[in-house]
Structure formats: structure tokens, C-alpha cells
Chains A and B, each alone.
Chain A
Amino acid sequence: MPSQGDANAAMIAPMATDAAVRAREIDERVRKALVRLSPSQSTVFILRHYEGLALAEIADELGCTVGSVKVHLFRAIKKLRDELEDLRGP
């Protein structure tokens, strides 16, 4: 006879799967959107968002000014926002 724990697991499992599918879908969409950014925009966004480098570290890493890192990041996020418009809530 299934225990209460099994019953909870059975209820939770489909929800977890849905979330995973949704996360994968978002991830896929983000990757496609990133491809459409310019090389400098995607580089700055990836280094800041995924690698977690500070803006000053990115500037140091890329040999450019913090100001230009900020501008590339602004343009990257703005384009991503437009590309991923339909993923945003109502």
C-alpha cells in the first residue's frame, strides 16, 4: 500500500516536470535571443549574468572602459527584453 509520502511525491512529480519543461523552454528561448545580440553585447551579458563578474572586472577582462560595458549591457538587456516579451507576465 502506498504511503502518504509516496502520495505526496506523486502529486509533486508532475509539477516539478512542468517547471523543468518551462525552465528548459525559457533557456532555449534565451539562447536563441542571445545569438541575435552583437558579439560584444552577448559577451558582456554572459560574463555579467552567467559568470557573475562585476562590471569593473568585465571592463578589466575585455580591456575596455566600465562605461562601454554598461552601454553594451544596457543594449543587450533591452534587446533581450524585446525578444523575450512574451515570456513576461501579464
Chain B
Amino acid sequence: MWKCRQVRALLAAAIYEPLGEGDRHLLDTHIEGCARCRALLASMRETVDAIPREDVRYEGDLAPALRARIDTLPTRSLAWRILPYPIAVAALAAALLLVVGVPLQIPKHPEIQQTHPVAGVSAARETARVENGEMIAALALDSPVAQAVCEADALIEKRAYAEAMRVLQEATTAHPDDPAAGTAQERLADIEFSHLRRYARAFDAYVKLRNQFPHTFRTSPESIDRFDLLVEGWPDSFNPLYTLDVARADGAEGFRALETLVAHHPGKLVASLALDEMQRVVDDPAAEGDLPHFAELEAVLARCNNPVAIAQVNLRLGDTYSRELRDPLRARGAYLEVAQSDHPVLAPLAQEALARLGQP
């Protein structure tokens, strides 16, 4: 039988649309035997029914509210960093809708523009689009390299990575001073890091991003994190990162490999990522929702054998007790376990954490 997590996407779809025969059968079979998913479907349906379908039209001047909202969007928001162009633009339109109540017409990606017009574009929406043309222009969506980034995003979506890289490289070579050149370099680095997982090349790409496009680099926390991780992995020829990839791909079977990675790289970023993965592995996929962090960590602790790995789980457990549960007593217990060890890296970290907690 399918697990809860596997049928959940069908729950949302079933609320709005009739499912295909196969999906319908899967969902029906599952919820017949699963009271939790049955209740979840009912409560989700009830929520959706309670949300009105009509949006309220805003009669005033849109410009100030739009500008304010644009100002509050992070310069390199998540949408711009990790989502393909059409999603990022749609997210922007969604943000505007939330502020002013008048949906902005979503500018289409060139490739999909011809295939499907957004249903029911009203006169009000058209007005909003024209009034906000200035704002769209300000985002430099029309520059040659920005267009290349859009094209590359569509190619990345189709997993045509080599072609995406060619498009980006050609555009930046032809227009090195384009305002979107930094974004193009960031995409190149992202392809190497997260899609091709060629860490040596990703390292070079992030070094170039950092040196030649410092503004793009500084305003992209994800790039900074990856750069730090690559700097850390460089002396070992990035082997810890490859080990992490293999362990991740092994799912639950990879737990021991992750534990070894944590044990061999105490206090390092790669150990922290491996610990994240261990938490994900122990989270029961059949459970309703995700386990709270402390419960995941306690489950990880119960399965660990290596003392250095155990110490790092305890450090994170201490942080979780302290910050999320506001339970200094349990936090102290977890930190003390580590502080009393003689580990040269981890014991001082635990002592610092104990000092931050203050006196009992």
C-alpha cells in the first residue's frame, strides 16, 4: 500500500479536480485504510471551501503599495535564486496580488507564451500591468543576459544542462557588462553544484562569482553557503561532498555512512549537512506531518554508535532544547555530555554553549 506521504499530493489535487482513474484508485484505496489521511482530506476540503473565490478590487492608487512591496522583497529572494524565471515572476505577481488585491498579468516565459494564455485577463488586470510597466523594467527582465537566464532556466528544467551553460556563457561573453551577468554566473555555478555535482568546477564558478560579481555573491546567502562548503572540501578534493551525495542517494541505508561522515568531520559544515540528512532519514515517512526537531534528533541519537557523532547530535539537541523548546535544563544535560568529553573541537563548543545558557 502506498504510504501517506506518497498520496498527499493527490489529496490536494482531489480537492480541486477529478483525479485520473489510476490516481483515484490509489487515493481511494489508501484513504479507505488510513483514518489520518481521510481526516486530512476532509479538513483541507473544509478549509478551501471557507476561502472566498472572489478577490476584492482595489480602487485607489496602486503605485505606492507596489513600490513598498517591491522594497520589502529581498534583493535576491528565494524565488530569484532557486526558482525558474516563470515561477519567480509568478511569485512576484502573487506578492502584488496580496498587497493590492488586483492581480498583475503574469509575463510569460517566451517559450510558453504561445501555448497558453492566462484565462480571463480582466481590464483591471491589464491596467495594473501597464501602470507597473516601470517596475517590471526596473527588474531588468529585458536585458540580453536576463533573457539568456530565462532561456537557461527552461533548459535546466528539461535537464539540458550543457545547453543551458552554453546559452549562459555565450550571453555573458557577448555582454560582459549586462546587469544580469552576475545572475548568469550564479546560474552557471548552481548548475555545476546542484545539478552536475562537479564540485571542483563549482568551486571555480563560485570563486569567479565572488571575485567578479561581489554584489551578486554578497546578496546570495545560498552562494555564500556553498562557497564556504567548497572551501572546506577543497583540501580533501571535495571527497566529503561526494560521500554525502552517495549517502543521501542511499536513503535509510545511508545512515551509517552519514554517521561516519559526521564523525570524521567534527564541527564542519559537511557534518552539519550530514546531520540534517540523518534527521530526515529517521523522520517516519508514514507519520502525520514532520517530527519536531528534538524528536528527530533523539531518534538519531538512539541509532548512533560513534562517540564523536553522538557528541555532535548532543550539541544540536542542546541547541534545539534551548532555542525551540526553551528548556534550559534539558539543554544543559545535552551540552554537559559533550563538555565533559575531551574532544578538542566539540568540548570547547559545548562549554561556550553552557556559558551562553548561564548559571542553573
Contact = CB atoms under 8 A, between A and B. Distances in A.
A interface SS class:
helix
Given A43-B87, A61-B106, A88 B98 contact: no
Interface string B328-360: 000000000000000000000000000000000
B61 to A, nearest CB: 19
Nearest to B108: A61
A30 B44 contact: no
B84 A55 contact: no
Interface residues of B, number: 51
Interface string A51-90: 1111101001111100100110110111011001001110
Interface residues of A, number: 43
A78 B43 CA distance: 9
A87 B56 CA distance: 19
A67 B10 CA distance: 9
B174 interface: no
A66 to B, nearest CB: 8
A73 B47 contact: no
A43 to B, nearest CB: 4
B252 interface: no
Nearest to A84: B47
A48 B118 CA distance: 11
B109 interface: yes
Nearest to B10: A70
A31 B98 contact: yes
B119 A87 contact: no
B312 to A, nearest CB: 29
B128 interface: no
Given A62-B90, A64-B157, A88-B43, A52 B119 contact: yes
Interface in B104-152: 106, 108-109, 111-112, 115-116, 118-120
Contact of B9 (A49, A71, A89): A71
A56 to B, nearest CB: 9
Contact of A55 (B17, B44, B115): B17
Contact of B90 (A38, A47, A70): A47
A87 to B, nearest CB: 6
18 contacts: A27-B52, A30-B52, A31-B98, A39-B94, A43-B91, A43-B94, A49-B53, A50-B103, A53-B118, A57-B116, A60-B112, A61-B118, A62-B87, A63-B109, A63-B154, A64-B157, A71-B12, A77-B12
Interface of A: 23-24, 26-27, 30-31, 34-35, 38-40, 42-43, 46-55, 57, 60-64, 67, 70-71, 73-74, 76-78, 80-81, 84, 87-89
